[in-house]
């Protein structure tokens, strides 16, 4: 094995280093400072919302979303099942119950019919998940939410740069949340964002994410010496200004990153489209996929685990797709979500990032085909 082709890889360099140096020179490295404020303004403009709040990660942004939308212990929140469990965890953090709804077999996003069927008198809201960045069916979900008086949250952890019917991911629900983890389309290693058009939610989220008081930058701009009073339980969910500086540079890169990953996705599609044991991902025609991950579906006759092990031995990094949340023991007894469970058993993520060369893409595809063929014949 001569070369290891990475599953994911950030695109960072001189622009990010220069942004960090500028923050170091400013003397303000902590969160909620002037660089965070600049990033928030830029990010809100990029996703088409009035407000953005930089957070420590997407999980904290989800928690803030539910708190500011008034979720209480005993409430139920419907959650798209096929997702990293941070989505369900955020509901548990409020004392409410996540009710998992099955997903579409093509886009892997929550099935509106399953959402409708899951509504009970205790339901207060819906969290739709943009599967690997592809937005869910927000027009249908909004209609359900409005019909039953529910809120709608977009878990856009993977969705930076995606669109739904021409509208940017992040602008599709009452609140949306993003992740800037190292495998995401734009990254500071860790981090996240809470975005909304509602002034009241944004103000409440900003207070809660700084222990329940106004941040130091806001207090420093006043003409007197304010002494904060703690009237509500808050959290330290801030993103440092160092990370915010990286994110400003990453936003500048985003258009080029999307072009590179869409080109890679198209090439994978060409190379793998005719293989009867490998199904390539579907992009809905009214959406633009940001391709945070490239996930193929392996035929059930093939041992996915054996394929993954052999790919890694040949230098092609890979992993499973994401989780069928309802089968995780933490959540206890839940209704079955058979589509999500099937995807959980058959999905395989192969290398996808903006730094892949054409030769690497061809190597990954050829190796995957060879390994799957070998596994199918038992050689």
110-138 in b/e burial notation, b at 16+ Cβ within 10 A?
A: bbbebbbebbeeebbbbbbbbbbbbbbbb
Report yes or no: 108 and 82 within 8 Å, Cβ to Cβ. yes
**Which candidate in 97, 165, 184, 261 is catalytic?**
184
Q: Are residues 241 and 264 in the same domain?
A: no
Residue 325 has pLDDT above 80, yes or no: yes
Q: Is 230 left (phi over 0), alpha (psi -120 to 50) or beta?
A: beta
Query: Which domain CATH number covers 235?
Result: 3.40.640.10
CA pair distance 82, 69, nearest whole angstrom: 23
Active-site residue flag, 261: no
> Is residue 231 assigned to a domain?
yes
Residue 89 has pLDDT above 90, yes or no: yes
Q: Are residues 187 and 243 in the same domain?
A: yes
Structural domain including 164 reads 14-250
In whole numbers, what is the pLDDT of the chain averaged over residues?
96
Instruction: Report CA dihedral (183, 187, 189, 193) to the nearest 10 degrees.
Output: -110
> Is residue 3 assigned to a domain?
no
> Is residue 9 assigned to a domain?
no
Query: Which domain CATH number covers 341?
Result: 3.90.1150.10
> Is residue 156 assigned to a domain?
yes
Q: Which residue has the higher pLDDT, 217 or 151?
A: 151
- pLDDT score, position 224: 73
Domain boundary residue among 194, 217, 250? 250
Q: What is the pLDDT of residues 249-306, one digit of tens each?
A: 999 999 999 999 999 999 999 999 999 999 999 999 999 999 999 999 999 999 999 9
Q: What is the pLDDT of residues 127-152, one digit of tens each?
A: 999 999 999 999 999 999 999 999 99
Q: Are residues 144 and 238 in the same domain?
A: yes
pTM greater than 0.75 (yes/no): yes
> Is residue 1 assigned to a domain?
no
> Is residue 4 assigned to a domain?
no
The total of structural domains in the chain comes to 2
Domain boundary residue among 231, 250, 269? 250
Q: Are residues 260 and 190 in the same domain?
A: no
Q: Are residues 288 and 159 in the same domain?
A: no
> Is residue 5 assigned to a domain?
no
């Amino acid at each position: 094995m001569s070369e290891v082709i990475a599953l994911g890889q950030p695109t960072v360099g001189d622009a990010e280093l220069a942004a960090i140096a500028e923050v170091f020179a400013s003397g303000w490295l902590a969160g909620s400072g002037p660089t965070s404020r600049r990033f928030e303004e830029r990010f809100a403009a990029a996703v088409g919302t009035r407000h953005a709040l930089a957070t420590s990660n997407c999980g904290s942004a989800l928690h803030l979303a539910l708190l500011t939308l008034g979720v209480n212990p005993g409430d139920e929140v419907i959650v798209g099942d096929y997702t990293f469990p941070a989505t369900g965890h955020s509901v548990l953090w409020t004392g409410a119950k996540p009710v998992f709804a099955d997903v579409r077999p093509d886009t892997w996003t929550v099935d509106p019919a399953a959402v409708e069927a899951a509504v009970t008198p205790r339901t207060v809201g819906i969290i739709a998940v943009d599967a690997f960045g592809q937005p869910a069916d927000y027009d249908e979900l909004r209609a359900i939410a409005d019909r039953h008086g529910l809120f709608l949250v977009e878990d856009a952890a993977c969705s930076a740069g995606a669109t739904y019917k021409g509208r940017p991911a992040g602008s599709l629900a009452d609140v949306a949340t993003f992740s800037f983890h190292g495998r995401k389309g734009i990254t500071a290693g860790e981090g996240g964002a809470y975005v909304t058009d509602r002034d009241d939610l944004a103000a409440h989220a900003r207070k809660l994410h700084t222990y329940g008081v106004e941040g130091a930058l806001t207090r420093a701009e006043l003409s007197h010496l304010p002494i904060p009073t703690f009237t509500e339980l808050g959290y330290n969910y801030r993103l440092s200004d160092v990370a915010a500086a990286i994110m400003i540079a990453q936003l500048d890169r985003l258009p080029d990153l999307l072009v590179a990953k869409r080109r890679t996705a198209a090439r994978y599609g060409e190379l793998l489209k005719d293989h009867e044991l490998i199904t390539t991902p579907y992009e809905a025609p009214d959406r633009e996929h940001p391709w945070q991950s490239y996930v193929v579906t392996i035929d059930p006759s093939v041992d996915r685990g054996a394929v993954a092990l052999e790919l890694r031995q040949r230098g092609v990094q890979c992993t499973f797709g994401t989780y069928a949340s309802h089968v995780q023991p933490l959540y206890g007894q839940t209704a079955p979500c058979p589509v999500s469970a099937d995807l959980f058993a058959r999905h395989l993520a192969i290398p996808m990032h903006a730094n892949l060369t054409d030769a690497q893409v061809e190597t990954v595809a050829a190796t995957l085909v060879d390994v799957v063929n070998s596994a199918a014949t038992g050689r």
